[in-house]
Amino acid sequence: MSRISLSKKHNKPESDVRHMVGELVESLARRYDAKAVWEGDSSVKIDHSRLSGRLDILPGEVRVDVKLGMLAGAFKGKIESELRKALDEKLS
């Protein structure tokens, strides 16, 4: 099982980051037909038959940890690149 761990630093207000992350998660959930559930105000759990993960909003930072199943593992580079690009676009 492959893993993707990303971190993106930011200097935006937490409420703005929460909104941006919400948009990002909704977009990814639609695109990959995944289920996204907020756990409190600062964490989102993502589930799909081929991957699972969570996104955590911390002071000054957003962290993404994803576990890829065997089939999704073949696309690790592409998935990681798309996640990194999306974080950069939303938080830069």
For the stretch 43-68, pLDDT in tens is 999 999 888 999 999 999 999 999 99
For the stretch 5-22, pLDDT in tens is 999 999 999 999 999 999
- What the block records as the tokens of 28 is 């990814």
Among candidate residues 92, 11, 2, the one with its CA nearest the CA of residue 53: 2
User: What secondary structure, in 3-state letters, does 32-67 show?
Assistant: HCCEEEECCCCEEEEEECCEEEEEEEECCEEEEEEE
> Can you identify the CATH homologous superfamily of domain 2-91?
START domain (3.30.530.20)
pTM (2 decimals)? 0.88
